[in-house]
Amino acid sequence: MIDIGINLASERYEHDLDAVIQRAREAQIIQLIATGSCRQSNISSLKIAEQYPSYIQCTLGIHPHHAQLATEDDFTYIKESIQHTNVVAIGETGLDFFRNLACPKAQEASFEKHLELAVQSGKPLFLHQRASHSRFLPILKEYRDQLSQVVVHCFTDNRKALYDYLDLDLHIGITGWICDERRGQHLWDLICDIPKSRLMIETDGPYLIPRTIQPKPKSNRNEPAYLIHVANKVAELLQVPTSEIIELTAKNAIIFFNLVINESK
Number of domains in the chain: 1
Q: How high is the pLDDT of residue 263?
A: 61
The DSSP result for 124-193, as a single string, is: -EEEEEES-HHHHHHHHHHHHTT---EEE-S----HHHHHHHHHTT-EEEE-GGGG-TTT-THHHHHGGG
Q: How far apart are CA 144 and CA 163, in angstroms?
A: 15
Q: Is residue 179 part of a domain?
A: yes
Q: What pairs with residue 51 in β-bridges?
A: none
**In 3-state terms, what secondary structure has residue 90?**
strand
Q: How high is the pLDDT of residue 47?
A: 98
Q: How high is the pLDDT of residue 261?
A: 85
Residue 221 sits in a domain whose CATH number is: 3.20.20.140
Q: Is residue 129 part of a domain?
A: yes
Distances (CA, A) of 141 to 138, 153, 170, 232: 5, 17, 11, 33
Q: How high is the pLDDT of residue 180?
A: 97
Q: Is residue 265 part of a domain?
A: no
DSSP, res 226: G
Q: How far apart are CA 216 and CA 209, in angstroms?
A: 9
Q: Is residue 123 part of a domain?
A: yes
Q: Is residue 264 part of a domain?
A: no
Domain of 72 in residue numbering reads as 2-257
pLDDT by 10s per residue, the chain, length 265: 999 999 999 999 999 999 999 999 999 999 999 999 999 999 999 999 999 999 999 999 999 999 999 999 999 999 999 999 999 999 999 999 998 899 999 999 999 999 999 999 999 999 999 999 999 999 999 999 999 999 999 999 999 999 999 999 999 999 999 999 999 999 999 999 999 999 999 999 999 999 999 999 999 999 999 999 999 999 999 999 999 999 999 999 999 999 998 765 4
| CA nearest neighbour of 43 among 16, 69, 28, 61 | 61
Sign of CA dihedral 36, 179, 134, 144: positive
Q: How high is the pLDDT of residue 99?
A: 87
Q: Is residue 89 part of a domain?
A: yes
Q: How far apart are CA 8 and CA 75, in angstroms?
A: 21
Q: Is residue 263 part of a domain?
A: no
Q: Is residue 262 part of a domain?
A: no
Vertex 58: Cα angle to 199 and 108 (nearest 5): 75
Give residue-wise pLDDT tens across range 55-65: 999 999 999 99
